[in-house]
Amino acid sequence: MVTLQRAGLEDAERVLQMQAQAFQDLLDRYRDYDTNPAAEPVGKITWRMQMEGSAYYFILAGEEAVGFIRVQEKGRACRVSPIGILPGHQGRGYAQEAMLAAEKLYPAAARWELDTIKQEAKLCYLYEKLGYRRTGTEESIQPGMTIVYYEKKLKI
């Protein structure tokens, strides 16, 4: 079972380090230095942390931080971007549990949104298993890398 712990501005460097670790494999595979979170400067994280309705959380398994998730609240909708699990902890269900925990933190949200790389079947499967459906919008970033958009509508 995981819990979410809110990260503050003082945690920006730690979030950056975790983000770099969690997304390094995708950066190596796609070489997308413009949109991959592993290539972001700390200033982008602090900027997001200061945005209205934006919050980063550490994903904790017991006392250990195994990843992070950012939720951006936009009225009755919430957007997850990004979510990352550290390499040594991937494949253990932590992302799934974190997504469900985030939904409980924002009970007024009627819709959740996110996007991922279409070619990453495991990521697409994870989100679809959680009830996310493709919106039909896709964006080609480069040959062999397409971003696909998802949403999940909740009954409130």
Distance CA 29, CA 103 (A): 30
Mean pLDDT score of the chain: 97
DSSP letter at 39 equals G
Q: Which domains does the chain have, with CATH numbers?
A: 2-111 (3.40.630.30)
pLDDT tens for residues 80-124? 999 999 999 999 999 999 999 999 999 999 999 999 999 999 999
In angstroms and rounded to an integer, the radius of gyration of the C-alpha atoms of the chain is 15
pLDDT tens for residues 52-75? 999 999 999 999 999 999 999 999
CB burial readout 44-78, b (16+ within 10 A) else e: ebeebbeeeebbbbbbbbeeebbbbbbbbbeeebb
pLDDT of residue 123: 97
3-state secondary structure of 107: coil
pLDDT of residue 128: 98
pLDDT of residue 156: 65
